[in-house]
Amino acid sequence: MKLRGRIAVAFCTVIMIPLLMITAVTFFVFQTQFDSMEQSFKIDEDTLAAVTNPILLVNRITRNVYNEVKLCAIKTPERLENRKYVESLNNKVKGKYSFLVLRRNGEITYSGSKDLTPELIERLPSYGEFSTEVDGGTYLGGMSPMLIKQTDFLYPDDSEGSAFVITNVSRVLEDLRKSLAQIVLSIVAIMFLTGAFVTYWLYRSVLYPLRVLQNSTNRMKEGDLNVSVQPMYADEIGELCEDFEKMRLHMKGLLEENMQHERESKELISNISHDLKTPLTAIKGYAEGLLDGVADTPQKREKYLRTIYTKASDMSTLVDELSMYAKIDTNAVPYNFQSLNLNQYFEDSIAECRLDLELQNMDLAYFPYVGKEQEIIADPEQLKRVVNNILSNAVKYREPSRKGIICIRTTDVDENYVQIELEDNGKGIGVKELPNIFERFYRTDVSRNSSTGGSGLGLAISKKIIEDHGGRIWAESRLGVGTTIYILLRKVVLQIHPHEEPEAAELGREKERLGLNGIVSKWNEKRRGNHE
């Protein structure tokens, strides 16, 4: 439920539930009292009308007994001289806050209660003064209000007699006040319980999640990004918690990336210091040899100068690679995507580097397994950089005991991709080291032997370039056997017009990359089966 809905429900709850419960409690209390009055006082008419007029209620609760006394006084007045009969009449009204009083010739002959005080006796109406002021009764106010019903009659000896049914009005009103007090207490209890329930509900659904969010924020402020905030309800606060959790994960990722970048920066400084210090030391040493006259023959001077030139070239190459990686890592390299004929491209590239490889005792072979007209989408300069990096690594890590061989194969994978394989017979890469070779500044030579050269950036640059092409690069290797680098690149789709090719290279890369793992695995299994 949304927060606005909760507020509306809380408002209705605070208003409607107390109203309904108060109505129910009031009805229950009055109904209980009415039933009690009907059973105790034999009120068989409209009880509610009687309750709204307390004097009428008091009049009605003794009406039956009064009518019996009145009938007896008119027809058989002698019975009022019978003590037992009079007691029985008094017992009938005794439970109704009333009592019976008999008076004969001005003297009280019977009183059914101690409430008959001298003051009340003096206020009793005299013989013949029967009042119909209040439904056949006379109301006497004061500290102890009484309702008096009087009937006058003559005893058998013609003496004047009066029978009074006296009701203590204050006791009846006291019961009514008790009922009212019960209703008021019930209302207070209902309002308190309703408020407590709504308060707890709002606390659990609004304040508690905000409290959790606040605690998480304070912990994040102190640098703890491992605290997770899970939404408790599907409302605005739940959406806020979800956004907060996404922000936390994003910040945690940025922090980890920043820490990783900081570690790599320190490692970079260390590696650069090492890689620059080695050629600088050599340059300095050979330069001092020239200055000190150690190279006293033209052959030695030429050797020293050639060594200085070689080391300076290594330093220049390292600086160029660092500059290139910085541009690629910040997406500052502009790509010039074109449609390239795959076979023609590799034949030209191999022709350029074949001689240099032969001078280093390396043979290079190219095996095209794609159509002669097959085209790919690529930046020729950046793709050349990738191929050169891989070939350079094959030369650096060749096995000295045997002639080096590099085989390049181009094969179809499916209707969208071609696979390029660059296989050598070098030293190979260990299982533990293989997953890391495309990381920045990583070299399998932990000692960073200067004889092999390299900055540890070549394969990282290659990976970034291939991924920017919408492709994929990975490696397989066995120690002592050799290493194979696989590159997956996109074909030119025939339906795409030439002027749309650069845009096609940019669009849908992520979508098309989703199926690469399955496609490559299926193709490699098929190729291995054919070789076997």
pLDDT at 493 over 60: yes
Note whether 142 and 41 are same-domain residues: no
Phi-psi region at 276: left, alpha or beta (left = phi > 0; alpha = psi -120 to 50): alpha
Percent of the chain with pLDDT over 90: 12
For β-strands 472-478 and 138-140, DSSP reports them as unpaired
Please tell me whether the overall predicted TM-score, pTM, comes out greater than 0.75 for this model: no
The answer to whether position 308 is within a domain reads no
58 pLDDT more than 60 = yes
How far apart are alpha carbons 474 and 263 in whole angstroms?
25
pLDDT at 2: 58
Residue 305 domain-assigned (yes or no):
no
Average pLDDT score over residue span 439-461? 63
Average pLDDT of the segment spanning 9-24: 70
Quick check: is 295 in a domain? Answer: no
| Per-residue pLDDT at 118 | 83
Together in a domain, 374 and 511: yes
Confidence band of 57 (pLDDT split at 50, 70, 90)? low
The pLDDT tens digits for 100-127 are 999 998 899 999 888 788 888 888 888 8
Are the C-beta atoms of 144 and 131 separated by less than 8 Å? no
Cα–Cα dist 88/100, whole Å: 10
391 assigned to some structural domain: yes
Q: What is the CATH number of the domain that holds 126?
A: 3.30.450
Residue 314: closest CA among 354, 267, 281, 356? 281
| Identity of residue 183 | I
**pLDDT single digits (tens) 255-291:** 888 888 788 777 767 777 777 777 888 888 888 888 8
Cα(251)–Cα(225) distance, integer angstroms: 8
Could you tell me if residue 168 is inside a domain?
yes
Evaluate whether residue 522 is within a structural domain.
yes
Does 254 reside within a domain? no
Question: Which of 362, 328, 353, 270 has the alpha carbon at shortest distance from 465?
Answer: 328
How remote is the C-alpha of 471 from its chain's centroid? 37
Q: Are residues 85 and 12 in the same domain?
A: no
Within this chain, do residues 348 and 478 fall inside the same structural domain, yes or no? yes
Angle at alpha carbon of residue 79, lines to 75 and 85, rounded to 5° = 130
Determine contact, residues 233/205, Cβ cutoff 8 Å: yes
Torsion of the alpha carbons at 501, 506, 510 and 513, rounded to the nearest 10: 40
Residue 404 contacts residue 433 (beta carbons within 8 Å): no
Q: How far is CA 155 from CA 29, 86, 323, in A?
A: 46, 15, 137
Residue 516's pLDDT band (cuts 50, 70, 90): very low
Q: Give pLDDT tens digits for 314-366.
A: 788 778 777 777 777 777 778 888 899 999 999 998 888 888 888 888 899 99
User: Which of 192, 207, 222 is where one domain is finished?
Assistant: 207
Q: Are residues 463 and 344 in the same domain?
A: yes
Secondary structure of 151-209 in the HEC alphabet? EEEECCCCCEEEEEEEEEHHHHHHHHHHHHHHHHHHHHHHHHHHHHHHHHHHHHHHHHH
With CA atoms as reference, report the closest residue to 151 among 180, 130, 178, 173.
130
Q: Is residue 64 part of a domain?
A: yes
**CB burial of residue 240 (10 Å; 0-12, 13-18, 19+):** middle
Of 187, 207, 227, the one marking the end of a domain is 207
The residue behind tokens 């009022």 is 80
Is the pLDDT at 511 greater than 60, yes or no? no
| DSSP bridge partners of 490 | 417
Tell me the mean pLDDT in the region 461-474.
90
- As beta bridge partners, residue 339 has 377
Q: Over the stretch 216-249, which tens digit does the pLDDT of each residue have? A: 888 888 878 787 777 776 777 778 888 888 888 8
Question: Which of the two residues, 232 and 403, has the higher pLDDT score?
Answer: 403
Number of domains in the chain: 3
392/405 same-domain check: yes
Whether residues 461 and 499 fall in one domain: yes
**Could you tell me the residue range of the domain that residue 158 belongs to?**
54-176
Mean pLDDT lowest for which of 35-39, 46-50, 151-155, 355-359? 46-50
Q: What ranges in 330-456 are assigned the alpha helix state H? A: 342-359, 380-396
Average pLDDT, the chain: 77
Average pLDDT over residues 205-223: 79
Q: Find the distance separating the first CA and the last CA of the chain, reported in whole Å.
A: 64
Q: Are residues 355 and 466 in the same domain?
A: yes
Same domain, 156 and 39: no
Average pLDDT over residues 453-478: 84
Nearby residues of 236 by Cβ (< 8 Å), 6 or more positions away: 2, 3
335 secondary structure, DSSP code:
P
Which CATH number belongs to the domain containing residue 406 in this structure? 3.30.565.10
Same domain, 448 and 493: yes
* pLDDT score, position 414: 84
Q: Are residue 61 and residue 42 in the same domain, yes or no?
A: no
Angle value at C-alpha 367, between 364 and 369, nearest 5 degrees: 160
Q: Are residues 470 and 362 in the same domain?
A: yes
Structure-block tokens of residue 428: 């190979």
CB crowding 180-203: b at 16 or more within 10 Å, else e: eebbeebeeebeeebeeebeeebe
Confidence of residue 486 (pLDDT cuts 50, 70, 90): very high
pLDDT at 25 over 80: no
